[in-house]
């Protein structure tokens, strides 16, 4: 049965008859669009709970996204991942993408992703030794990971660019405090 209380049409704003017979399609997100996301900072220490990383050693950051539901198969776009570091005490604040070499920065993007090809995203980047600054007696950082899925624009663009495209999905995850020595 047609919904007589349909909102005004954005597609046919000047047609008073445009939405008199349309029926709203209910697409419950819990059935058709579920997403799970995780980021981990991986150090080669045997103690996985250790959050002290030597700045003169490389470490890895792993981003994972698991997409469930049949609508993801019909979605495409550009994924962007990053990690933010905020110094507690002395030290600089920065995004990982601003500190790593271009070859590593390029790995933080998943351009031209198509859900019909893959709904499991697993990106692991190796952060070169010396990337994260450590002051004398170490630097403590509050760390958080973030991601975006955008469509209809450039994959890799400047922050001030108007070519970033439409934001479809965004999120973040606090990683907690890490000390770099």
Report pLDDT for 4.
53
Is residue 165 within 8 Å of residue 78, measured between CB atoms? yes
Is residue 155 within 8 Å of residue 111, measured between CB atoms? yes
The SS3 of residue 81 is strand
Residue range 138-157, pLDDT digits in tens: 999 999 999 999 998 888 76
Domains and CATH numbers, the chain: 29-180 (2.70.50)
Residue range 1-33, pLDDT digits in tens: 444 566 777 777 777 776 565 667 777 777 888
**pTM of the full structure:** 0.85
Backbone angles phi, psi at 63, to 5 degrees: -110, 130
Least confident range from 17-31, 75-89, 107-121: namely 17-31
Average pLDDT, the chain: 88
């Amino acid at each position: 049965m047609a919904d007589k209380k349909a909102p005004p049409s954005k597609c046919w704003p000047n047609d008073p008859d445009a939405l008199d017979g349309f029926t709203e399609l209910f697409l419950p997100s819990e059935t058709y669009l579920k997403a799970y996301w995780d980021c981990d900072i991986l150090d080669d220490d045997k103690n996985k709970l250790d959050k002290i990383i030597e700045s003169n050693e490389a470490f890895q950051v792993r981003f994972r996204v698991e997409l469930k539901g049949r609508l993801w198969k019909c979605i495409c776009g550009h994924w962007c991942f990053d990690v933010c570091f905020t110094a507690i005490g002395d030290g600089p604040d920065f995004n990982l993408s601003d500190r790593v070499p271009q070859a590593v920065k390029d790995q933080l993007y998943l351009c031209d992703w198509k859900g019909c090809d893959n709904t499991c995203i697993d990106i692991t980047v190796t952060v070169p030794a010396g990337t994260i600054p450590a002051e004398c007696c170490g630097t403590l950082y509050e760390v958080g990971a973030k991601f975006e899925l955008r469509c209809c624009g450039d994959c890799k663009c400047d922050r001030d660019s108007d070519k970033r495209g439409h934001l479809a999905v965004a999120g973040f995850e606090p990683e907690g405090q890490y000390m770099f020595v």
